[in-house]
Amino acid sequence: MAAKRPKIIKKDLKRVSVKPNLLNYEKTYRSFSYKKVEKELAWLGKGKLNAAHDAVDKHLNTWRKNKVALYWIGDECDKKYTFLELAQLSNQFANALVEQKIKKEDRVFLFLPRIPELYFSFLGILKTGAIAGTMFAAFGPDAIYDRLHDSGASVVITSPELKPRIDKIRKKLPDLKTVIVTGSVKVNSRKGEVLFNDMMKGQSRNFKTKEMKPKDKAYMLYTSGTTGKPKGVVHTHYDIIHQYMTSKWVLDLQEEDVYWCTADPGWVTGIAYGILGPWANGTSSVVDARRFSAEKWYDTLEKYRVTVWYTAPTAIRMMMKEGSKLAKKFDLSSLRHMCSVGEPLNPEAVYWGLNTMGLVFHDNWWQTETGGILIANYPGMAVKPGSMGKPFPGIKAAIVDEHGKIKKTGKEGNLAIKPGWPSMMIEVWKNPVKYKEYFKNGWYITGDKAKVDKDGYFWFIGRADDVINTAGHRVGPFEVESALVAHPAIAEAGVIGKPDEMFGEIIKAFVSLNKGYKPNDGLKKDIQHFMKRYHAGHAYPKEIEFRDNLPKTRSGKIMRRVLKCQELGLPVGDISTLEDD
């Protein structure tokens, strides 16, 4: 896996991706103010906007009307959609939703693989003023239930392949009135089910997009913390200003670009930088819906002459594993800028990019709650491999202690952001207490540990809590533990993130068994299968260890920290003094 380090790193790193207009980036934006750039948004009326209009429909008055917005790659065929086609399809879907009596702030969820319908449905939902929720296609019935139940979603759009997972929980979801199934063929149809294509038939291509106030809700995503079930992080239409600006200045999207964001819209990157930000810039985007293979990905880069590529460290490491020889079979010369997000980008991956593609991966940092990139290695900046970069202009980031006091340069602490950037979450769904917990002494506390060096570069250290990041997916240990104890053999479960070269972390579960069950490999496999089936395909424990007892606090809470120390061979300390935290 180790990549050969090029000799003149420093010189090369400074040269890469520097475009003359971006050299003065910091200077230009020193006096950056969102108020000043607000005029770049497409306002619908007095102080009213709609993110879907800003992403797509505003281009219909320009030459971009017939520009390809979406290059879609499937297993069987490739398809193309222009901005005009996306606008019309999303209008038809919005009309169909209104016919279903969907109104402002109703929750309409998407549980779809990356098919074209996902993209125009998302835009259509926003156009009606409803809140779009997305769910990753690897979720099992339990994970889906948590999200649909908590949000009180009234509509979910799914595919024939994924529908059986909704069927399993449908009875327990009284708010869920309609299930829209893609395609034209009914499969085991039930009451309250409609076919996507039937709904679209005869709908007008025109729709009066709902005029929204900037802080009206647009979309929501469920995300994990240390405790409890996942929380609904709600974002507004005004997010688009930050997504637009960062797409322009961090991803460096320009008119002639073909851009590929590899993230799934089940996660925030797939929404902010797979839909809203790039299309607001009028960029042609690639979506490759096929299962990952290094060869297919190189082929996509070559075939579509991708110029800007936004991906994630695990994918980069998986490509590294295949070796540079495979990469050399393809013509990757169209690439001019590469970015990475979601998990720590190890310096080796940066060197590998330089060796293989002649370009540096520009790491950036943000999270579901922030709605957009806040810290970045932007083009024109000397990259320090291993650092997340510097705050985007207009963003104030700092390292603070547990009381929210700024720490000295170089000291480790909590990564914190001054609240008020435009894409900051507006609420945690039905949970104002949780929302409040994010803030301390006037700072938004991110949950990450980091440090800042004397040049103002931020360095990621790890999570401040027990949240696991596996292959860039944020996983809450509580969710996994609750799913594990639903298995008939399991009495208790404690879950940790175990460092892994390829996936950043893997999920490791420690379990004690109910009477009558024997620990063996067959049972391990059965538990893993159960977790994939009912919880989530991406969040099952790759490792399981049977224990007679699990370490607990005096009040009976499992001490994940002790399990982690034991796993890593670190001193556990005096357990008897550990109280609940």
| Amino acid identity for residue 535 in this structure | H
Q: Smallest gap, in angstroms, from Cβ of residue 178 to ligand AMP? A: 29
Q: Between the CA of residue 6 and those of 270, 322, 355, what are the distances in Å?
A: 32, 19, 7
- For residue 418, the minimal CB distance to ligand AMP (Å) is 17
Residue (389 or 551) nearer to ligand AMP, CB: 389
**Residue 318 burial (CB count, 10 A):** 17
What is the spatial distance between Cα 300 and Cα 287, in angstroms, rounded to a whole number? 9
Can you tell me the distance from the alpha carbon of 281 to that of 44, in angstroms, rounded to the nearest whole number? 17
> In 3D, which of 272, 256, 244, 257 has the Cα closest to residue 309?
257
Of 71 and 222, which CB lies nearer to ligand AMP in the complex structure?
222
* Shortest Cβ 393–ligand AMP spacing (Å): 18
CA 472 to chain centre: 8
Q: Could you tell me how many helices (H) and strands (E) the chain has, helices first?
A: 21, 27
Cβ proximity to ligand AMP, 369 vs 481, nearer residue:
369
CB of 220 to ligand AMP, least distance (A): 13
Instruction: Look at the block and give the residue holding tokens 């593609």.
Output: 357
Strand order in the sheet with 284-288: 78-82, 68-73, 284-288, 258-261, 308-311, 337-340, 361-365, 375-376, 390-391
Q: Of 288 and 448, which CB lies nearer to ligand AMP in the complex structure?
A: 448
Question: Is the CB of 71 or the CB of 540 nearer to ligand AMP?
Answer: 540
Q: Count other Cβ atoms within 10 Å, centred on residue 443.
A: 21
Using the minimum distance from each CB to ligand AMP, give the nearer residue, 40 or 453: 453
Q: Closer CB to ligand AMP, residue 404 or residue 519?
A: 404
Contact 244, 281 (CB under 8 A): yes
Shortest distance, CB of residue 493 to ligand AMP, whole angstroms?
22
CA 135, CA 133: separation in Å to the nearest integer? Answer: 7
Q: Which two tokens stand for residue 557?
A: 């809470």
List, as one string, the DSSP characters of 83-143: HHHHHHHHHHHHHHHHHTT--TT-EEEEE--S-HHHHHHHHHHHHHTPEEEEE-TTB-HHH
Binding residues for ligand AMP (CB under 6 A)? 223, 267-268, 341-344, 363-365, 367-368, 388, 446-448, 460, 463, 469, 474
Nearer to ligand AMP, 278 or 282 (CB): 278
Q: How far is the CB of 370 from ligand AMP (least distance, A)?
A: 8
Nearer to ligand AMP, 474 or 564 (CB): 474
| DSSP-derived pairing of the beta strands 284-288 and 68-73 | parallel
> In the complex with ligand AMP, which residue's Cβ is closer, 57 or 448?
448
Q: CB–CB of 376/389 below 8 Å? A: yes
Q: How far is the CB of 541 from ligand AMP (least distance, A)?
A: 19
Task: Give buried/exposed letters for 61-86 (b at 16+ CB in 10 A, else e).
Answer: eeebeeebbbbbbeeeeeeebbbbbb
In whole angstroms, the minimum distance from the beta carbon of 453 to ligand AMP comes to: 15
Cβ proximity to ligand AMP, 212 vs 233, nearer residue: 233
Angle between helices 477-484 and 141-151 (to 10 degrees): 120
Contact 119, 73 (CB under 8 A): no
Closest among 35, 169, 53 to 111, alpha carbons compared: 169
Q: Give whichever of 342 and 551 is closer to ligand AMP, judged by the CB atom.
A: 342
Q: How far is the CB of 313 from ligand AMP (least distance, A)?
A: 8
Which residue type, as a one-letter code, is found at position 550?
L
Least distance from ligand AMP to the Cβ atom of residue 265, Å = 13
The least distance separating ligand AMP from the CB of residue 281, rounded to whole angstroms, comes to 21
Q: Residue 109 Cβ, how far from ligand AMP at the closest point, in Å?
A: 18
